[in-house]
Amino acid sequence: MSENTNRGWKVVAAGTTINLALGVLYAWSIFKGAIKASIEKGGTDAFQWNLASINDPYALCCLTFAFAMILAGKCQDKIGPAKTALIGGILVGGGFTLMAFSNSYAAWVTGFGVLAGAGFGFGYSAATPPALKWFSPSKTGLIAGIVVAGFGLAPVYIAPLASWLISVFGIQQSMLFLAAGFTVVVCGLSFFVINPPAGYVAPEPIDPGPVAKLNAAKPVVNANVSEILRNYKFYVLWATFFIGSGAGLMVIGSVAGLAKKSMGPMAFVAVAIMAVGNAGGRVVAGILSDKIGRRATLFIMLAFQSALMFAAIPVISSNNAILLVLLATFIGFNYGSNLCLFPSFAKDYWGTKNYGLNYGALFTAWGVGGFVMGKVSEMLNAQPGGLAKSFVLAGILLAAGAAMTVFLAELKPASDENEVPSQWKEFWSEFMLGAKVFAGFETAAPHTARQSVSA
């Protein structure tokens, strides 16, 4: 193994560990339970919140996280990933410190919803791009999957750790411990997430695989955000990301409550196993997409998730703990695949020069999807039979998302050297190519002519 490859794996390890720390986002269900218990208990030091507002800091955090990725991505491209991750660690630490010294609604909305949410965005945006730059395109899916798996795996240790701290030290002192711990971890590891030196070319394996060969046939592309926003592929990716993440988050947020009905105090087992499935889905989808292509993998994952949504209705009605755990695991697995596939799509289509900002713009679909689908789910759940309606709606949307992948051809038809085709002409060409490939009448072949920057 070469020295550069060793350095690349150190960057991967640092990015994965940063995401493991930033996964404290998933501890909100523990915080929420403690806050609710404090409100109901009352007393001079109790949280004086409206019960209906308990989830507001988390909802705002998810939106801040998603939109902070745009600014964080710009910083990552301009000042580098190390400084960007350092800012993220300071913001998360500052947010949790504010929560440690006040139990007011405003302090927690600001601390968790704004400061920590922005910190999650800065830290998360700095972890994946430098890791991808150290490795060849044949490993894009694998490396992206490993790095983001840290965030998905975090609930396995975060939930029991947060529960223990709160039971021993109370809510606010626990926030101070978490502030110190995660500030040290994220800021300390930020110095290890570095880009390769200028002119570095990652070594390519002897047989990189069919997907890497197809991507290698394309010219080097380094699109900026204004260019990607003028191309329909961005909006197809955004819509499918919105559907895939929104449907997954809708179910993930309900798993603990559903598990309590059939598993009682052992409900945490379902949450932990789902977290393992979430992390595993990111790695497996990354490896699979390197082998068979991003589009084919996304289609499989969305179609499988759609089937699981319809299967969830009888499983939940049966109140069978084993079936519920299996369902949660596979739903977490498919949801996790989104967090690997879409950063890989961004690198394949738009290059690495402006990767941070480009993926930041695409990542807004995650925050909006979780927020919108969560609200819709709450509205439906308030009605008789609303839970089943939520799963049916999610299943239909996921099936539509799977169908939309036909517009995401691995390689676009070649254009004339001096002609940039209109977006509608390009859209129709790729639709026909995609339809033929899926029908088995044609296989995607590399093109040698110059392609537009949106490839």
Q: Is the pLDDT of residue 424 over 50?
A: no
For residues 149 and 214, membership in a common domain is answered with no
Q: Which two tokens stand for residue 113?
A: 């919803």
d(CA 74, CA 296): 30
Residue 413 confidence class, pLDDT cut points 50, 70, 90? very low
The strand ranges marked E within 262-362 are none
For residues 258 and 390, membership in a common domain is answered with yes
For residues 189 and 320, membership in a common domain is answered with no
Condensed to tens digits (0 to 9), the pLDDT of residues 89-99 reads: 999 999 999 99
Q: Is the pLDDT of residue 445 over 50?
A: no
In a domain, 200, yes or no: no
For residues 111 and 232, membership in a common domain is answered with no
For residues 141 and 271, membership in a common domain is answered with no
CATH number of 146's domain: 1.20.1250.20
For residues 165 and 253, membership in a common domain is answered with no
Q: Which two tokens stand for residue 345?
A: 């799509």
Q: Which two tokens stand for residue 365?
A: 């679909």
Per DSSP, the three-state class of 444 is coil
Of 194, 222, 241, the residue at which a domain comes to its end is 194
Q: What is the pLDDT of residue 114?
A: 95
Least confident of 107-121, 155-169, 404-418: 404-418
In a domain, 78, yes or no: yes
Condensed to tens digits (0 to 9), the pLDDT of residues 354-375 reads: 888 999 999 999 888 888 887 7
Measured from the Cβ of residue 205, the count of other Cβ atoms closer than 10 Å reads 10
pTM, two decimals, is 0.78
Residues in the chain: 455
Q: Is the pLDDT of residue 177 over 80?
A: yes
Single out the residue of 128, 99, 123, 127 nearest to residue 113, CA to CA. Answer: 99
Single out the residue of 437, 374, 397 nearest to residue 303, CA to CA. Answer: 397
d(CA 183, CA 220): 38
Residues of the domain holding 76: 1-194
For residues 237 and 165, membership in a common domain is answered with no
Residue 240: CB partners within 8 Å, gap ≥ 6? 298, 302, 401, 404, 405
Q: What is the pLDDT of residue 426?
A: 52
In a domain, 202, yes or no: no
For residues 114 and 234, membership in a common domain is answered with no
How is residue 449 annotated by DSSP?
S
Mean pLDDT of the chain: 82
Q: Which two tokens stand for residue 335?
A: 């949801």
d(CA 247, CA 250): 5
Condensed to tens digits (0 to 9), the pLDDT of residues 45-87 reads: 788 888 878 888 988 898 899 899 999 988 988 899 999 999 9
For residues 91 and 50, membership in a common domain is answered with yes
For residues 170 and 96, membership in a common domain is answered with yes
For residues 129 and 219, membership in a common domain is answered with no
Residue 182 region by backbone torsions, left for phi larger than 0, else alpha for psi between -120 and 50, else beta: alpha
In a domain, 49, yes or no: yes
Question: What would you report as the CA-atom Rg of the chain, rounded to the nearest whole angstrom?
Answer: 22
Percent of the chain with pLDDT over 90: 37
For residues 23-35, b (16+ Cβ closer than 10 Å) or e, as one string?
A: bbbbbbbbbeebb
Domain count, the chain: 2
Q: What is the pLDDT of residue 210?
A: 59
In a domain, 390, yes or no: yes
